[in-house]
Amino acid sequence: MRSTPTRRAAILAGIGTVMTAAVLAAAHPTMATTTAAPPDISVTNVKAHLQKFSDIAAANSGTRAHGTPGYEASVDYVKGKLDAAGFTTSKQSFTHNGKTGYNLIADFPGRGDANQVVMLGAHLDSVTAGAGVNDNGSGSAMILEIALRYAAGTDAGTKSLRFGWWGAEELGLVGSEYYVDNLSATERTKIKSYLNFDMTGSINGGYFVYSEDPTRGAAIKTAIESAFTGRNIDPDDANLNSRSDHAAFIGASIPSGGIASLSLDPTKSAAQAAKWGGTAGAAYDPCYHKACDTLSNINDTVLDTIGDVAAVAAWNLAGIGAGTPTPSPTATATPTASPTPGGNTYTNANDVAITDNATAESPIAVSRTGTAGTVQVAVDIKHTYRGDLVLSLVAPDGSVYPLEDFANNDSTANVLRTYTVDASSEAAGGTWKLRVVDGASNDVGKIDSWGLTFAGATTSPSPTTSPSATTSPSSNVFTNAADVTIGDNTTVESPIAVTRAGNAPSALKVAVDVKHTYRGDLVISLVAPDGSVYLLEDFANNDSAANVARTYTVNASSEVANGTWKLRVADVAGGDVGKIDSWTLTF
C-alpha cells in the first residue's frame, strides 16, 4: 500500500460512458445467483506462495521492489503457476524512474462471458526496505490461490474472472494506472467489477471493506459484507483515500471495492479487538514498510478468512454456482459402476468410512487366472484433508504395494487418481484390498469407490519401469525415454510424436516418471498438439517428497490424436533439480 495519498491528474479521457441504474443492475447479480459453495481457499497453499516470495527476496538483496530482479522473479513465479494451470497470461511492461516494471494479467480461456469481467487485483511489488510479505505478498498470494482454484473448476458462470498483479504500486500506483490508461473504451466497459486486495494478513489485523464510490461500488460492498456475515464476522468500513490500486479503476468509472486487514487509523480500537481479537491500542501492522515484514508478520487466521470471503464475493459477482470446483486436478477417471468378473476391470463402489487414526480396507474379489501383471488402481476417496492419508494396495497373498503417502503436508481435499502397479509376481485370482491409513485427527472421510484394471490392450505400462525406447505407430502406447534435465526455475518439455487417426480418448493415460529431489517445486502439464494445456499436478510447493511416478487420466476427447504431444514440467523454485526420466501416452 502506498504510504502517501495520490489522486489521478485528470479523469481518463475517452470513456464517454454513463452507467445508468439499469446497466449497474445488470452488471451485478444478486446474492441468490450462486447455487453451489465457492472453494475453500487453503491458507496452507497461500502461505506456500508467501514462502516463495520470501525466498525470492532473500535471494535478491532482501527486496521485491520495482525495477529489481526480485520483483521480476516474483512476476515469473506467479506467471509460471498460472501458465501451468491453463491461464492465458500477459506480462505488460512499462517504464518508471528509468526502470522497467511489469503488470501480469491472467484470463482463463473459454470460461464465462469475456464481455463481462469480474477482476481481482493486488500489487506484487514491495518497498525497497524489505520482502513485503504482508504488503503485499499477502494479497498477491491470496488471489493466486483463488485463480488456481478457479482453473480447477468447471462452472463457467455468467461472467468471467480476470486476475491482475500490479507493479510499482509503492511508487504511486504506477502499474495499475498504466493498465487502465491503456485499455480501450470498449475494454474498460467489459470490466463490471474490480476487487482490490492490499495487505490481507496483518499480524494484528481485522476486517475492513472499502468501495470509496458508493454508487458504482454498492454491489461489490454488499457481496463482500454478505460473505463476512455468512462467517459471523462484522467488518468495518474503511476509506483508503485512493492509496491503493482501486483508485485507477474508480477514475475510469469502473465499479470498484476491496478488502484490507487494516485501515488508515494508526491502531486497533478496543471495540475492534473485542469483536475480532488482537491487541487494542497496538498497530495493525507494526512492520509496515519495514525489513521485519516477513513470514512472521502474518496472521494466518486473518489471511485465511479474507481469502475465503474474497472467493465467495467473486463467485457471487461472477454468477458462478452451477457446478463445484474440482478438488483435485490430477485425475478424472471414475471406476466403472459394477464389476465385470469375466473382463479386465473389477470395482467396489460400496462406501467405507475413514475415521481418525484408523485403518480402513475395501475388498475386491477377482475371478481371473494367471498372474496379475501390470494393474491400474483407480481410487476415489472423499476426505477433508488428504495429508492425513497413506494409501496401499494389498494383494491376495498379503503383499503390500504402496500407492501414495501424502506426507502430512497436503491440505487438499479428496483423492481422485489412477496408480500403476507392477504386480507381475502376484496371482490375479483372489481378494485384493485398498488399504487407507488415516494417521491424524480432526479430518475424516470415506472410500467412495475404487477399481482394478488388469493388463490388456488399453493398459499403460508402469511409470516405475523403464518404458520402451521406441514407439510403434500402430499401437496404443507411445513413449519417450530420453532424459530431459530439469533445472532450477526453468520449464522443460519432452515430446512424443503420435501417429494415430481420430481424436484422443476421454481417458487418455499419461504415465510420468520424473526424478527430482523436491517435487514440491514442480508443476506438471500435458500439452496437446494444438497447444492446449492439461494440468496434471501442481504439487503446491509444500510436498517435500522426491520423484514423481504416477499415471494420470486426461479427458482429451476434444483433441486430435495425431501430432506432437509434450510433457511440460515447470520448476518454480531454487535449490533442487532433476530430470524427466521417461513418460508414456496410452490411447
Cα–Cα distance for residue pair 537/407, rounded to 1 Å: 16
Cα–Cα distance for residue pair 345/10, rounded to 1 Å: 69
Whether the CA torsion 221, 224, 227, 229 is positive or negative: it is: negative
Cα–Cα distance for residue pair 388/377, rounded to 1 Å: 20
Length of the chain: 587
Q: Which residues pair with 373 in a beta bridge?
A: 423
Distance of CA 49 to the CA centre of its chain: 10
User: Which parts of 181-305 are beta strand (E)?
Assistant: 191-197, 208-210, 236-237, 256-260
Cα–Cα distance for residue pair 476/301, rounded to 1 Å: 50
Answer whether 277's CB lies under 8 Å from 116's CB. Answer: no
Phi/psi at 389 (5° precision):
-105, 145
What are the cell numbers at 177?
494506472
- Determine whether 537 is an active site residue: no
Please work out, in degrees rounded to the nearest 5, the angle formed at the alpha carbon of residue 382 by the alpha carbons of 452 and 447.
Answer: 45
Cα–Cα distance for residue pair 314/195, rounded to 1 Å: 8
Cα–Cα distance for residue pair 118/161, rounded to 1 Å: 5
72, 169, 170, 537: the active-site residue = 169
Which DSSP string do the residues of 312-328 spell out, in sequence order? HHHHHHTT--SS---S-
CA of 284: how far to CAs of 27, 177, 193, 209, 463, in Å?
34, 27, 28, 15, 51
Distance of CA 558 to the CA centre of its chain: 24
User: How many C-beta neighbours within 10 Å does residue 389 have?
Assistant: 24
| Residue carrying C-alpha cell 509444500 | 542
What are the cell numbers at 59?
535471494
- Does an H or E element contain 103, and which? strand 99-107
- Does an H or E element contain 438, and which? strand 430-438
What are the cell numbers at 99?
526502470
Q: Which residues pair with 571 in a beta bridge?
A: 522
CA of 461: how far to CAs of 121, 280, 394, in Å?
44, 62, 20
Cα–Cα distance for residue pair 289/387, rounded to 1 Å: 36
DSSP letter assigned to residue 203: T
CA of 140: how far to CAs of 81, 94, 196, 257, 583, in Å?
13, 19, 10, 16, 34
Cα–Cα distance for residue pair 32/213, rounded to 1 Å: 24
Secondary structure (H, E, C), 53-85: HHHHHHCCCCCCECCCHHHHHHHHHHHHHHHHH
Q: Nearest to residue 410, comparing CAs of 528, 586, 545, 546?
A: 545
Rounded to the nearest 10 degrees, the angle between the axes of helix 139-152 and helix 69-85 is 20
Answer whether 391's CB lies under 8 Å from 430's CB. Answer: no
* Active-site annotation, residues: 169
